[in-house]
Amino acid sequence: MQLTYNNKDYDIIVEKKRGNRNTYIRVKKDLCIHITTNYFTPMFSIEKLINDNYKQICNMIDSQEIKQKNNNGFFYLGKQYIVIYTDIKKVEFQNDKVYVPQDFEPDKWYKKQAKDLFLEHFEDKYNNFTKHIPHPSLRIRKMTSRWGVCNTRSHVITLNLELIKRDTKYLDYVIVHEMSHLIHGDHSRSFWNLVEENMPDYKKYRDEMKEF
Ligand SMILES: [Zn+2]
C-alpha cells in the first residue's frame, strides 16, 4: 500500500499486534507511514482510516521532513558545523567547519568524545551533590525519546548520547535530574527542590530542552 502526496509515493507499513487495543498512525524517520493496529483489524478499515485521515498524514510527512532537514547539520557541544571530507586521518575544527576523514562515522566519534566528557561532568556533579547518594554508574546510549534514565535499584544512570550535540549545561541538568531520582523516584515537590538545590537555574534549562 502507498499514499501519494505532492507527486511522491510513501509506503504504508501495517504492523498488526495482538496486544494493541488502539490503532496508531505515525510517520517515522524512514518517511514511511506506520500503522500499528490490532491483529483483527480488517484491511478495508485500515484503508478507510487512511482515507479519512489523509490530511493529517500529509501534515505528519511535512513535519517529519522539516525535522530531518534541521537535523542534518553537524552539531557538537551546542555549535553547528559544516562537514568537509578530506584525506586527513583525524577530525579537526576550524571556525564553523569540521574537517573529517572520508570514512567518518559521526555516532562513533560522538561516542568516543562523550565517554570522557560525560564522565567528567558526572563525577563533578556527584562530588558536589548536596545530599548523600550512592555512587551511580554511568552508561551512554543513543535514545530517541528521553535524555536520561535512572535505575533506582541498580543505581545505573543512562545518558542520551545526543546530549553531546548540545551545550554542556543541558548535560549537567540531566545528570542532576537523574541523580536526584536516587533520593526521590517521582517528580514530587521534594524532588524538584533537590534538583534546584543542586542547580538553582534548572527551570531555564528544563524549559529550553522542551524546544529541542
Ligand atoms: Zn525524571
CA angle 204, 207, 209 (to 5 degrees): 110
Going from the Cα of 7 to the center of ligand 1, the distance in angstroms, rounded, reads 43
Position 57 pLDDT exceeds 90: yes
Chain mean pLDDT for the chain: 92
Would you state the cell numbers that stand for residue 78, as one nine-digit string?
A: 551546542
Going from the Cα of 107 to the center of ligand 1, the distance in angstroms, rounded, reads 25
pTM of the model: 0.67
Going from the Cα of 210 to the center of ligand 1, the distance in angstroms, rounded, reads 14
**Confidence class for position 69, pLDDT limits 50, 70, 90:** low
Going from the Cα of 199 to the center of ligand 1, the distance in angstroms, rounded, reads 15
* Percent of the chain predicted with pLDDT > 90: 74
CB 86 within 8 A of CB 99: yes
Would you state the cell numbers that stand for residue 77, as one nine-digit string?
A: 557541544
Q: What is the pLDDT of residues 98-110, one digit of tens each?
A: 998 888 889 999 9
Least confident range from 36-50, 67-81, 183-197: namely: 67-81
Going from the Cα of 179 to the center of ligand 1, the distance in angstroms, rounded, reads 9
Position 12 pLDDT exceeds 60: yes
Going from the Cα of 157 to the center of ligand 1, the distance in angstroms, rounded, reads 11
Query: Which residue is associated with the grid cell 514530587?
Result: 188
Segment 110-120 mean pLDDT: 97
Query: Which residue is associated with the grid cell 542547580?
Result: 199
Task: Please give the backbone phi and psi of residue 119, each rounded to the nearest 5 degrees, phi first.
Answer: -65, -40
Going from the Cα of 177 to the center of ligand 1, the distance in angstroms, rounded, reads 6
Going from the Cα of 181 to the center of ligand 1, the distance in angstroms, rounded, reads 7
Query: Which residue is associated with the grid cell 524546544?
Result: 211
Going from the Cα of 13 to the center of ligand 1, the distance in angstroms, rounded, reads 33
Going from the Cα of 149 to the center of ligand 1, the distance in angstroms, rounded, reads 7
Segment 107-132 mean pLDDT: 97
Going from the Cα of 123 to the center of ligand 1, the distance in angstroms, rounded, reads 19
**Confidence class for position 17, pLDDT limits 50, 70, 90:** confident
Predicted pLDDT of residue 73 = 76
Angstrom distance (rounded) from CA 161 to CA 75: 12
Per the document, the length of the chain is 212
Cα torsion angle, 96, 143, 69, 209, sign:
negative
Query: Which residue is associated with the grid cell 517521582?
Result: 186
Predicted pLDDT of residue 64 = 81
Please state, in angstroms and as integers, the Cα–Cα distance from residue 201 to each residue in 76, 150, 171, 198, following that order. Answer: 23, 21, 14, 9
Angstrom distance (rounded) from CA 205 to CA 190: 19
Predicted pLDDT of residue 71 = 53
Segment 177-186 mean pLDDT: 97
Q: What is the pLDDT of residues 19-35, one digit of tens each?
A: 888 899 999 878 899 99
